[in-house]
Amino acid sequence: MPIKKDGTGKRWVEMEVLVPGTPEQVWQAMATGDGNAAWFTKATIEERVGGKLEFDFGPDMSSSGEVTIWEPPHRFGYVERDWSKDAPPVATEIVITSRSGDQCLVRMVHSLFTSSDDWDDQMEGFEGGWPGFFEVLRIYLGHFAGKKAVSARVMAFTKSDQLAVWSRLTHELGLAGLNAGERRTTSAQPERMTGVVHAVHQDDQKRYALLRLDEPAGVAMFGTYGISDNVNVSAIIFFYGDDAAEKAQASEDLWRDWLGKTFPSAA
């Protein structure tokens, strides 16, 4: 969906996704730190208007902000002021609306108050980056809602063609030619996992696959993202259950070592 604009200088992108669960379950997943860790990233959120908020994407990669709307279980909003160098603050609003069949419609809007188009690419990047995580959200709410969650998150940068990197990634993992709905088992390295392919996406800039795992219980998300002449290769494994933290730490160590060896640094 293209960036929208109005006469006041406001620019925004908006997305909608239908997810399983009650408004209370969806609110817990989207407006709390523990909930975000189950489908997006490690986060801390002070649950009040004016509360501090921080998303932790790994070493030297975080974004902080302030809660601006707190109306459980239907409206949650926050502003991030350091999301990009010299950029104006970006405001996010999430609205959760109950639908029949134990489902909720989630509407997410990212807004910038500026007449400049200098950050339009980044705004479009927001929109393009969410669908994969929304699929993880659907899996979490449909199969693991309320369980303790911890993720392993590792990435590497390499200088190559994005399609070539994707092809190598899926080949090395034993997932070449994967299709949604298939049951697949990954290679033993960096760790063997079995599950159902939930979603596969491929375009000129990004590719990713999601597996809902049987053992260990969780979701695996593998992907590549082209940035100029470099390619970001990432693996995010969401673990659910009482032993999630232990499994996530062991998994992260394995993936960090494997990605570093398989995809040498672009530097």
Q: Which of 144, 171, 191 is the last residue of a domain?
A: 144
The model's confidence at residue 127, banded by pLDDT at 50, 70 and 90, is low
**Does one domain contain both 11 and 93?**
yes
The pLDDT, as a whole number, for residue 10 is 78
Q: What is the mean pLDDT of residues 104-116?
A: 88
**Residue 130 maps to a domain:** yes
The pLDDT, as a whole number, for residue 45 is 97
74 is written with which tokens? 């239907």
Q: Which of 101, 128, 144 is the last residue of a domain?
A: 144
Cα separations in angstroms, 138 against 118, 132, 219, 249: 33, 10, 11, 24
The pLDDT, as a whole number, for residue 61 is 80
| 46-82 per-position pLDDT tens digit | 999 999 999 998 777 888 999 999 999 999 999 998 7
**Does one domain contain both 65 and 104?**
yes
Mean pLDDT computed over every residue of the chain: 91
| 154-209 per-position pLDDT tens digit | 999 999 899 999 999 999 999 999 999 999 999 999 999 999 999 999 999 899 99
Give the rounded percent of residues in the chain with a pLDDT score beyond 70: 95
The pLDDT, as a whole number, for residue 114 is 74
**Does one domain contain both 116 and 24?**
yes
Q: What is the mean pLDDT of residues 5-23?
A: 87
**Residue 12 maps to a domain:** yes
The pLDDT, as a whole number, for residue 134 is 96
The pLDDT, as a whole number, for residue 191 is 96
Entry pTM: 0.92
Instruction: Identify the CATH number of the domain in which residue 31 sits.
Output: 3.30.530.20
Q: Which domain holds residue 117?
A: 7-144
**Does one domain contain both 23 and 92?**
yes
Closest CA to 66 of 89, 84, 87, 37: 89
**Does one domain contain both 40 and 162?**
no
Q: Which of 90, 119, 144 is the last residue of a domain?
A: 144
- Write down the residue that tokens 């398989």 correspond to: 262
- The larger pLDDT score, comparing residue 17 to residue 84, is at 17
- The larger pLDDT score, comparing residue 210 to residue 83, is at 210
Q: What is the mean pLDDT of residues 227-250?
A: 94
3 state SS for 206-234: EEEEEEEEEECCEEEEEEEEEECCEEEEE
**Does one domain contain both 68 and 132?**
yes
**Residue 2 maps to a domain:** no
Closest CA to 70 of 113, 134, 12, 27: 27
Based on C-alpha coordinates, what's the Rg of the chain?
A: 19
- Give yes or no for a contact between 215 and 194, defined as CB atoms under 8 angstroms apart: yes
**Does one domain contain both 131 and 184?**
no
Number of domains in the chain: 2
**Does one domain contain both 74 and 192?**
no
- Give yes or no for a contact between 238 and 219, defined as CB atoms under 8 angstroms apart: yes
The model's confidence at residue 119, banded by pLDDT at 50, 70 and 90, is low
**Does one domain contain both 105 and 234?**
no
Task: Give the total residue count for the chain.
Answer: 267
